[in-house]
């Protein structure tokens, strides 16, 4: 399912980010070893040593930036795949129930709206709405209620009342606003039907959306300081902005990363499976998209 794909793509992106320190250490060691060899080369004058050392630093710095550039492209590609796969889970529509069940719901829903219109108190209107929602046993029907919630809320709030609601009894009673209670009711409408995959995809999507806004792979202050110490400020300033470096020095631009897997992402029959719980079948409802037509 797409949640597993989203989670795997995010993990690959995280692994790229986590490789930053090891990559910096590897280049620092390689350059240090090369500089030591240059320093011990008796064939070179002091001036010659300095010139060769500068060339070595430039070579390793450019290689580091080239590798970073490709890594960042892979990083961004995996984040985008994470978002694509997670959204396929989150935005897949629920399966439409059979005509009989849908017809009964529509009759009951129309009756509820009429009853709310003629309710004599805000409390009774609120209780009617809450009672109706508590009986919902189908994600498709719950979504229909959620889509009409603005109209339902308007009817409840327009009914005579002080705008307050009491939760609990006796010493444990708490007074809160009806508006707030309605907001919580709206937020929780689909929650009883959400599978672990749905909740997981939502969490993964939230993380990926934050990362796509800040796609640096060298986040550590230690790595940034080490880059300046190893390569010099002229190169270190570009480790999180390789695009700018290769605009200035196009001759060093590495081959672009081609995400062939990303190009093959398609919404398969399995991906169209409804990701909410199915009371009649504990497995996922494959083919939800067709059933909803």
Residue by residue, pLDDT tens for the chain (293 residues) are 589 999 999 999 999 999 999 999 999 999 999 999 999 988 999 999 999 999 999 999 999 999 999 999 999 999 999 999 999 999 888 899 999 999 999 999 999 999 999 999 999 999 999 999 999 999 999 999 999 999 999 999 998 876 565 554 443 434 568 889 999 999 999 999 988 999 999 999 999 999 999 989 999 999 999 999 999 999 999 999 999 999 999 999 999 888 776 544 444 444 444 444 444 443 333 333 333 33
pLDDT of residue 267: 43
In whole angstroms, give the CA distance from residue 117 to residue 26.
72
Q: Which two tokens stand for residue 94?
A: 């629920």
Q: Which residues pair with 276 in a beta bridge?
A: 194
In whole angstroms, give the CA distance from residue 2 to residue 67.
30
pLDDT of residue 290: 36
Q: Which residues pair with 285 in a beta bridge?
A: 274
pLDDT of residue 172: 40
pLDDT of residue 262: 55
pTM, to two decimals = 0.74
CA 16 to chain centre: 17
pLDDT of residue 162: 65
Q: Are 156 and 178 in contact (CB under 8 A)?
A: yes
Neighbours of 182 (CB within 10 A): 19
pLDDT of residue 279: 44
pLDDT of residue 266: 47
């Amino acid at each position: 399912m797409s949640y597993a794909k989203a989670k795997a793509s995010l993990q690959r992106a995280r692994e790229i980010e986590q490789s930053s320190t090891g990559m910096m250490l590897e280049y620092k060691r390689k350059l240090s070893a090369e500089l030591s060899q240059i320093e011990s080369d008796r064939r070179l004058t002091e001036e010659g040593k300095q010139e060769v050392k500068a060339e070595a630093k430039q070579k390793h710095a450019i290689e580091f930036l080239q590798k970073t550039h490709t890594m960042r492209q892979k990083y961004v590609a995996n984040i985008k795949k994470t978002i694509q796969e997670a959204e396929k889970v989150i935005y897949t529509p629920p399966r439409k129930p059979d005509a009989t069940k849908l017809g009964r719901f529509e009759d009951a829903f129309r009756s509820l709206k009429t009853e709310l219109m003629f309710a004599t108190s805000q409390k009774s209107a609120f209780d009617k709405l809450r009672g109706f929602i508590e009986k919902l046993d189908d994600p498709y029907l719950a979504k229909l209620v959620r889509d009409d919630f603005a109209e339902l809320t308007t009817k409840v709030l327009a009914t005579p009342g002080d705008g307050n609601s009491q939760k609990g009894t006796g010493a444990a009673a708490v007074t809160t606003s009806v508006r707030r209670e309605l907001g919580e009711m709206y937020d929780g409408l689909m929650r009883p039907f959400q599978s672990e995959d749905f909740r997981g995809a939502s969490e993964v999507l939230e993380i990926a959306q934050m990362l796509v806004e800040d796609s640096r792979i060298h986040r550590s202050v230690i790595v940034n300081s080490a880059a300046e110490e190893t390569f010099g400020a002229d190169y270190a300033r570009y480790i999180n902005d390789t695009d700018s470096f290769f605009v200035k020095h196009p001759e060093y631009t590495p081959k672009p990363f081609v995400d062939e897997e990303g190009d093959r992402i398609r919404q398969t029959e399995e991906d169209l499976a409804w990701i909410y719980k199915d009371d009649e079948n504990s497995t996922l409802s494959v083919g939800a998209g067709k059933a909803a037509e």
